[in-house]
Structure 1
Amino acid sequence: MEQHYVIGVDIGTQGTKTALFSVDGQKVAESFEKSELICPAPGEVCQEPEEIYGSVVRTIRQSIERAGVPKEKILALGMDSQMAGIMAVDKDFKAVGPYDSWLDTRCAPYIMKMKQQAEDEIIRKTGGPVTCTHGPKILHRKYEFPQEYARIAKFVLPGTYVAGRLCGLKAEDAYIDYTHLHFTGFADNQNKSWDSGLLMEFGIEKEKMPDIVSPWKVVGALTKAAAEESGLSEGTKVVAGCGDSAASALGAGIVEKNMIYDVAGTASIFACSTDNYTPDQNEKTILFSRSVIDGLYTPLAYISGGGLCLKWFLEQHGESYAYWNREAEKIEAGSRGLYFVPHFSGRTCPGVPDMRGAFSGLSFYHQAGHMYRSILESIAYEYHLYFSILKEQNPHIAPQAIYGAGGGTKSGIFNQIKADVLGIPYRPLEDADTAVYASAMLAAFGIGRIPDLKAAMKVQYKEEIYMPQKGNSGLYKGYAKQYARLLKLLGEFY
C-alpha cells in the first residue's frame, strides 16, 4: 500500500519542534528551532508573532528536506502550542501586538481584580483558579493598551495564529480548542462554551472570543504562498490542534482515567486523569483541564519555570546537566536541610504572582551540588503538594506508576527523587517528546486516516523503573511537609 504522511508541530517556550510521521506513527524526520524570547524589563516576556510563524514554516521545510518525502504524500498538519499566554489578531488575522507569554507577569493587578470580583465563580465555571493566564492578560490589554484593544477582532493562541497564516483565515474563522478552557477565565468548561455572565462581569465583548472547537477539526488548507514557504503542497489540510501539555499527555498514553503524568520540561507539570469534574474551590491550586479525549479530564498543577530553574543554575555555575546530576547523586536525601523555591516568575498554583525564588537553610556546609539537588527536590515537593490535593478531591485515585515525559526524564536522579518523594514507581517514556507525535496523529485522525485516536497512542517506556526507596521516602515526608510550610510563609511575606 502506498505510504502517506502527516506533520506534527510543537510550538514550545524554548523552541519549535516539527516532525514528519507516516500515518501509522513512524517518525521519519524532525527539526528544531530555538525561540527568541524578548525580556525588555522585569516581569515582561513576549515573542514576535512573525518569529513564531517563521519558526514553523522553516522547521516544516527542514523536516521535509531531511526526509526526502514527496510533498504530495503529506496529507495534513497538526499543531500544539503554549497554553497560558495569549495573543490577538485584527479582522484580517494580522497580529495585534506581540505574543504575551505565560511567563509574563505584568497582568498581576488584574489577577487580583478577577479574584476579588468573581474568584469562586471563575473556578466553578472554568475549572481553573485565577492565575497569570488568558483572563488577566486580556484585561491587561483592555486597560493598559486601549487603542490596541480596540483593534483586536479575536484573541487567539499561537497555534491558531500560525494556522490562520498558513490557511489565509479571517477573524471570523478564529478558534480555540477545548483543552485550553481552564485557562480562559471566561469559559463554561463542562459545556464547552463561553460564559456570558463572566464576560459581562469583566466587560469583555463576546465577539472578541474565538469559536470553541474539537482538537481534530479541520480548520483550513494551505494557501499557495504558505505552501511555497513551508515546502508543502497547496491545499494540505490543517487541524485545530491543542495545548502543548494536552498534546504531551495524549502522546504519553494518558487516555484512560486513574493515571498520573509528569512533564519534566520548561514548566514542571503534574497531572492525573479522571472522568469526574471536581474543580478545586478549596485550595485554588489545581487547574481542571480537559483531555483531548472527550469526556476525560486531566487536572493538573505546574511550576511556571521548573526546568528553567535548572537552566538558570547551569548558566551560573557552568558544566553540563550530566555533571550536576552526578554531583546530586552524591548528596544525601534532603540536601542537609537546604530548600529551594522555584517560583522565579511568581507562583502559579495557587496564584501568588509576586512570589520569587529562594534558597532557604544555607550553611557553610552546603556546596553547589547541594544547591542543584535541592532544586530537583523542590519540584518533587511541589508535586507532593499537588498530589495531596488531587487525592482529597479524587480519593479513588490509586496510580500504578507516574509516567514521565520531557527532557528532565533523562536524569536518573531526578526520576528517583520523584519516586521517593511521592512513594510511587516512576516510568519514563522512551521518547520524551510526545507532543509532536500527538499533534501529527490528531491530523491523521482529523482527516479520517486513522479510525481510533486512543488506539493510535502506542507508547513505549524505558526498561528502567525507578522504585521508591523506603528509607528516603520516609525522610522525604518530613521534608515535603516543611517545604509546604515554607511556601506558606513566603506567600505571606510577599
Structure 2
Amino acid sequence: MNDETREEAVLVLDCGSTNVRAIAVSASGKVIARASEKNTTYPDPDHEDWHYWSFEALCEKLFRCAREVIKVVAPDRIRAVTVTTFGADGTFLDASGKLIYPIISWKCSRTIEPMSYMDRYINPERVSAISGVGFFSFNTFNKFIWFRENHPELLDSASHFMFVSSLFTHLLTGRFTNDATMVGTSQLTDYRTQDYSQEILDAVGVQKSLFPETIFPGEVVGPLLKESADMMGLVAGTPVISAGHDTQFAIFGAGATPEQPVLSSGTWEILMARCPTIEIPTSEIFKTPFTCEWDVMRGHYNPGYQYIASAVIEWFARTMYSGVSGGNVYEVMIREAMEAPEDCHGVVIDPDMLIGNGTMSRLSLDVDRGSLVRAALNGLVVKLQNGLSILEQVGNFKASQLTMVGGGTRNQFWTQLKANALGIPINVLDEAETTVLGASMFALTGAGLYASADDARRAFNPPCHITLPET
C-alpha cells in the first residue's frame, strides 16, 4: 500500500442512476480507491414504461464495490461510512423494517398523470407555496397520490416510509431515520419550518408518524452492524454517518455560497446556491424550472434552476455533424461555432427542446451550421442568465463569481460565453467528484476527524482554473 492508502479515510457509497460506486476518500481529501458497477431500473411486467429500483440488487452491487475498495484500503483505516443517492425515491416498510413495496424510480411514468390532477387533492399553488419544491412528476407527493388511488392499504398499514439513502443506512445500522436532504426533495414539507406539512399530508391521508426521525448530514446514524460489515469487508462498529441527496453534496463539495453559486453542467444544467434565508415571491416562479430544497446545513436552503443543456449540443452533433469522420465531431462543431459571427446572422434559438417547446427564428440563406450551434449556445446562456437572476431574487444576494462542475466544463468556448454574459469570473473545478467529496466532508466530521464540514472543505481546497469575462 502507498502512503495515501495508509491514511485514515471514509467510505462513500454513491448510488447513482447510471452507476453505483464505493469510493474511499482520505482525510486530506484525496480519492484513494474506487469501484463501480452499472445500475439500471427494472420494468414492471405489466407496464413496460413503469420502473422500479431493486433494493436487493442495489445492495449487492454496493457491497461488491465496497469489497473491491477494501482490497486497496485496509478496513481499519476506514473511520466512517456514508451514503449518497438520487432524491425523491423511497418506499414503505413494516414494523420489522422489511420493504413491503418496490422502490418506484424517478424515471417511472406512472406519476405523470397524478401530477396533472393534483388539484383534486390540494391546490397546486398552495403546495408550491408551502413546500418551495417545483412541479416535477417524480416528486414523492405525486407517488403518494398514486398510492392513495392504487394501494391505499399501504398508506394505512405501513409502519414507515423511508427514502433510498436511509433504506441503506437502516440496513447498515438497524436504525429508522430519514436524511434531511432527501426529505427536502419530497414536496411533502414546509420549507419555512423544515418539517413535514400536515396540510399536505392530510391531502393524501397520511400522518407525520409514518416518517421516521429526520436527521441532518454529519449526524451519526449508528454503528455498522456485524452482518453488513462482513458483507463489505469492514470493521463492525464503524460509524455510519448521515448524508443523502447527491445534488446537495455536489454543491457543498464545490464550494457553493450565496455569492458563489454552483452550476453543474452536463446533459442538464442545474444551477444552485446555498442561502441562509430565502423569500419565494409568488407561485408564478414555479412556472419556470425553479425549485428550492433543503441545504446540508439545518435552516439553510438551496434555491435551484434547471434546464436541458448538453443534450441540445448532442442533438446538433447527431443531426448536422453525423458526416464528420473520426472522433473529432465536437472539435469541428465548436470550431465552426467560434468562427460564426456573434449575431449568428440574426438566428435566435430557444433550446427548450425537452418537451417540444424549442424554437428557431430569423433563418436566412446566410446561415450555416456553425451559426446554428452558436445560436443554440447563446440560447443556453440566456437560460443561465434567467436562472441566476431568479436565484439572486429568491436568496437576496448578488453573485460575485460562479463555480462550474461537470462534463460541460470541457467546452471552453461555451464557458467563455457564460462568463461574458454574466460579467463575473467562472471557476472551473478540476475535481469531478464533488458529490463524493462533499459527502466525505460530513463523514469525516461525523467520525471526529474535523470539527466541521466547512473545516474539511477548507482543508481539501480542490484546485480550479478561472475564466474571466472578456472586456
Instruction: Give the equivalent residue in structure 2 for 1:453.
Output: 453
Distance 1:22 1:357, change over 3 A: same
User: Aligned ranges for residues 183-198 of structure 1 at < 5 Å?
Assistant: 183-198=185-200
The Cα of 1:266 is off from its aligned counterpart by 4.9
8 Å contact from structure 1 (residues 429, 461) kept in 2: yes
Q: Give SS of 1:289's match.
A: strand
Instruction: Give the equivalent residue in structure 2 for 1:488.
Output: none
Q: Which has the larger radius of gyration?
A: 2
Distance 1:95 1:324, change over 3 A: farther
Which one of the candidate residues 332, 339, 353 is aligned to 2:349?
339
Q: 88-97 vs 290-299, which deviates more?
A: 88-97
Q: Give SS of 1:287's match.
A: strand
Q: 218-227 vs 361-370, which deviates more?
A: 361-370
Instruction: Give the equivalent residue in structure 2 for 1:278.
Output: 279
Instruction: Give the equivalent residue in structure 2 for 1:130.
Output: 135
Q: Give SS of 2:301's match.
A: coil
8 Å contact from structure 1 (residues 127, 182) kept in 2: no
Q: Give SS of 2:218's match.
A: coil
The Cα of 1:237 is off from its aligned counterpart by 1.7
Instruction: Give the equivalent residue in structure 1 for 2:98.
Output: 94
- Given the two structures, how large is their TM-score scaled by the length of structure 2? 0.83
Distance 1:323 1:466, change over 3 A: farther
8 Å contact from structure 2 (residues 444, 456) kept in 1: no
Is 1:247–2:249 an aligned residue pair? yes
8 Å contact from structure 2 (residues 15, 83) kept in 1: yes
Which one of the candidate residues 72, 75, 80 is aligned to 1:76?
80
8 Å contact from structure 1 (residues 36, 51) kept in 2: no
What CA deviation, in whole Å up to 9, does each residue of 1:370-401 have, x standing for no partner? 6766665554332222222223334x522221
User: Aligned ranges for residues 37-436 of structure 1 at < 5 Å?
Assistant: 37-38=41-42, 44-65=50-71, 68-114=72-118, 117-132=122-137, 133-146=139-152, 149=155, 152-167=158-173, 169=174, 173-254=175-256, 256-281=257-282, 282-284=284-286, 285=288, 286-303=290-307, 306=309, 317=322, 323-331=329-337, 332=340, 333=342, 337=347, 339=349, 341-342=351-352, 344=354, 355-356=355-356, 358=358, 360-361=360-361, 376-394=377-395, 396-436=396-436
Structure 1, gaps ≥5 residues long: 345-354, 471-494
Q: Give SS of 2:129's match.
A: helix
8 Å contact from structure 1 (residues 314, 320) kept in 2: no
Which one of the candidate residues 8, 11, 14 is aligned to 1:10?
14
Q: Give SS of 1:87's match.
A: strand
How high is the sequence identity, in percent, across the aligned residues? 20
Distance 1:155 1:313, change over 3 A: farther
8 Å contact from structure 1 (residues 9, 440) kept in 2: no
8 Å contact from structure 2 (residues 220, 241) kept in 1: yes
Greater share of residues in strand: 2
Instruction: Give the equivalent residue in structure 1 for 2:30.
Output: 26
Distance 1:374 1:258, change over 3 A: same
The total of aligned residue pairs comes to: 450
Partner amino acid, structure 1, of 2:468: M
Partner amino acid, structure 2, of 1:122: V
Distance 1:180 1:152, change over 3 A: same
Structure 2, gaps ≥5 residues long: none
8 Å contact from structure 2 (residues 317, 329) kept in 1: no
The Cα of 1:32 is off from its aligned counterpart by 2.5
8 Å contact from structure 2 (residues 259, 398) kept in 1: yes
Hey, what's the Cα distance between the residues in 2 that align with 1:273 and 1:140? Answer: 32
The Cα of 1:71 is off from its aligned counterpart by 0.6
Hey, what's the Cα distance between the residues in 2 that align with 1:178 and 1:320? Answer: 47
What CA deviation, in whole Å up to 9, does each residue of 1:389-424 have, x standing for no partner? 223334x52222110112322332332233244333
Hey, what's the Cα distance between the residues in 2 that align with 1:85 and 1:365? Answer: 49
Hey, what's the Cα distance between the residues in 1 that align with 2:442 and 2:385? Answer: 32
Hey, what's the Cα distance between the residues in 2 that align with 1:322 and 1:93? Answer: 52
The Cα of 1:262 is off from its aligned counterpart by 0.5
Q: 361-370 vs 321-330, which deviates more?
A: 361-370
8 Å contact from structure 1 (residues 429, 459) kept in 2: no
Hey, what's the Cα distance between the residues in 1 that align with 2:117 and 2:446? Answer: 40
- Given the two structures, how large is their TM-score scaled by the length of structure 1? 0.80
